[in-house]
Structure formats: C-alpha cells, structure tokens
C-alpha cells in the first residue's frame, strides 16, 4: 500500500467511521494546523497524529466505534494474512484481508460504512432513522 493510499484510508476511516471533520486552527507559532473534530466541534487530535494503520490503540478505537454503530465482527489471522469482516446477525458481509491486521480492519470498516452511505444494506443495527 502506498503512502497516499494509507492517507486516503486514514481520511475515510476518520470521516466515515469516527464521524470526524477537519478544521484548520491557529497553532502556537507555526501559524495553523489541521485538526480532527468530533461531535460538538470538539478537537480530537491533529490530522498528522491520526494513524490507526500504525497505532494499535487508535485501531482499537475504530473497532470499538464499529461496535457502537451496531456491527458484529470477526477477526482471523494466519501467517501472512489477516481477515476482518463486519455485519450483523451472522451475516458478516463486509470482509477485507491484508498482510497487515490493522489495514484489514480499517478497509473492512470503510467497506461496511461506504455501503451504508450509498444507501445499500449495511448490516449494522446502529444509526439514525435514515440509516446513517
């Protein structure tokens, strides 16, 4: 996976899964910095600090968020390959696999929520009355 693909995946996860937006804010003497903001426009962390593809703690926050959104999951790992699937009620339809377990988890989460955003079956129990 290229660096630009990793950055795009981080952005997708932050926006789709975590529900964050970015905003440029004044920062010390360097002028300004891009910061991820959560609900209520509360700053979460700088754009450069969000690395769920490299940081186990951040990756587990993504998994926790998917559970909050109503998804079940399955994780399996073997030498050289990890598989992660999201869905519900035994229908784990959004699967990704990768040599990197974090990448597999992030890609499966984005696949599940991208389907929901397009109005398809998300297999998640969470969300509002519009299925968002």
Going by C-alpha positions, the residue among 75, 106, 116 that lies closest to residue 125 is 116
> Does the pLDDT at position 115 exceed 80?
no
Give dist(CA 49, CA 128) in Å, integer: 29
Question: In this model, does residue 131 exceed pLDDT 90?
Answer: no
The superfamily in CATH containing domain 3-117 is: Bacillus phage protein-like (3.30.2120.10)
CA distances from 116 to 8, 36, 119 (A): 19, 22, 5
pLDDT in tens, 92-102: 889 999 999 99
| Res 92: pLDDT | 85
DSSP state of 40: G
Is the per-residue pLDDT at 123 higher than 60? Answer: no
Least confident stretch, 1-5, 83-87, 126-130 = 126-130
Predicted TM-score of the model (pTM): 0.83
84 bridge partner residues: 75, 96
């Amino acid at each position: 996976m290229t660096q630009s693909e990793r950055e795009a995946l981080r952005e997708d996860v932050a926006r789709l899964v975590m529900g964050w937006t970015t905003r440029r804010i004044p920062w010390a003497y360097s002028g300004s910095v891009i910061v991820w903001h959560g609900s209520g426009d509360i700053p979460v962390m700088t754009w450069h600090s969000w690395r769920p593809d490299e940081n186990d703690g951040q990756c587990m926050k993504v998994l926790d968020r998917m559970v909050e959104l109503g998804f079940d999951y399955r994780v399996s790992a073997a030498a050289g390959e990890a598989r992660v699937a999201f869905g519900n009620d035994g229908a784990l339809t959004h699967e990704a696999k990768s040599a990197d377990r974090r990448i597999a988890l992030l890609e499966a989460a984005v696949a599940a929520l991208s389907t929901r955003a397009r109005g398809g079956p998300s297999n998640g129990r969470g969300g509002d009355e519009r299925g968002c």
